[in-house]
Amino acid sequence: MQRTKRFADVVIVGTGASGLYCALQLPKDRSILMLTKAGVEESDSFLAQGGICVLREEADYDSFFEDTLRAGHYLNNVRSVELMIRSSRQTIRNLLDCGVEFARNGEDFAYTREGAHSRPRILFHQDVTGKEITSKLLASVRALPNVTILEHTRMIDLIARDGRCYGVLTEESECYAADTVLATGGIGGLYENSTNFPHLTGDALAVCLRHGVPLKDVDYIQIHPTTLYSQKPGRRFLISESVRGEGAKLYDGQMQRFVNELLPRDELTKAIRAQMKKEGSKFVWLDMSPVGKSAILDHFPNIYAHCLEEGIDVTRQPIPVVPAQHYFMGGVAVDEYSRTGMAHLYAVGETACNGVHGANRLASNSLLESLVFAGRAASRIALETDFPSKAEYLRLQPQEPEHINRYAGEIREEIERMKKSRE
């Protein structure tokens, strides 16, 4: 098969928040080629509801740090956690420069609280924070003359030789670059019930496995405790943890509370599943009415509208909720500059594992972690001076990998292998 040959200084695979932010932080004299498997707005970054954490003041540092470690069962990389928290204010300033708007109380930001947070430290935009952030990042990237975006373009392999990455192979093109950034999102497409887009099937993990690039903690998979119960197939609609942070309550089949709603996600999921098993039920109830009608319409209009389409008025009726796969804490192993085990190959966002989240992610740390370490990847790439010539690229002659259709199975096998290694 004759493929189109494309050349750039940097290839970024993925157009979610981390990929877009990385592109914006790179030097403007670098040519950047961005690829996305679906449309540019079909990334989980657009779906994030709750918000993005920030260090409000120095007095909150210790509690923010402890909340993150406690949620992660103290299996976090403490250096990565420190970098994330210390970089949070500058990251928010960069988002504001891109036109991102967060809720305010007068001139000051409004902050909300979610499960396992000891205090409110989460900035938000109604219940569509991910869409607000990612759409503004996308608009900023689209305004850059040095960036080209290719939609509906699937990466099928890395282009590599002698331990160095030279770009990626897609179904239609050979995309050559001095530096490559993997930002392909999570693995929700491997699960029957997930809040993720179904095309997110861990492609970056598969190609890294093929080339011996180390992965880390791939068995650390987060289940979100409250997604809207439905008998319909397809992606599950998430009921943000923020609603519980603002006062929503969980009830069993007899409309009795059975759990502390602000437990870390993994603990709350365990409690909900235990209650469902005890009752022989397919869901439990989430009551948003304690939040108040005005606050619901102001802070959670998207949840209100979606549930209303399902025949549920959340201002006066409880919501049937059930746990579903939501987030991937593991991924391609990276250092504090998002470098993988292969030279000139980086990984950011949910694709990467820098150890921030440990065994369980603290609510609303995902957007912050993704942006901070995407920015650190860009800062490192900016220092690179090794740019292969076109002749060097053309001598590589990459071949299409065999058994592409086995990628999903190989990832599942690696997850099971790592699970067994911990036993």
Amino acid at 196: N
Burial class from Cβ neighbours inside 10 Å (0-12, 13-18, 19+) for residue 254 reads: exposed
Other C-beta atoms lying within 10 Å of the C-beta of residue 371:
30
Closest CA relative to residue 98, chosen from 57, 55, 142: 142
Helix (H) / strand (E) element for 80: namely: helix 78-86
Under 8 Å between Cβ of 367 and 133: yes
Q: Output the CA–CA distances (angstroms, integers) from residue 418 to 18, 184, 298, 339, in the order listed.
A: 26, 21, 44, 22
Q: Where would I find the beta strands (DSSP E) of 43-106?
A: 52-53, 104-105
Give the CA radius of gyration of the chain. 21
Whole-angstrom distance, CA of residue 325 vs CA of residue 227: 9
Active site residue 265: yes
What is the helix (H) or strand (E) element at residue 353, kind and residue range? strand 352-353
Instruction: Give the separation between CA 138 and CA 306, rounded to whole angstroms.
Output: 25
Evaluate the CA torsion angle 26, 32, 33, 38 in order and state its sign. Answer: positive
Which residue intervals of 318-359 are DSSP H helices? none
> Among the options 113, 154, 244, 265, which is catalytic?
265
The phi and psi torsions of 15 (rounded to 5 degrees) equal: -125, 35
Which residues contact residue 400 at a Cβ distance below 8 angstroms, ignoring those fewer than 6 apart?
1, 156, 157, 169
Residues 6+ apart with CB under 8 A from 292: none
Do 136 and 114 contact (CB within 8 A), yes or no? no
CA-to-CA distance for 213 and 210, rounded, in angstroms? 8
Active site residues: 265
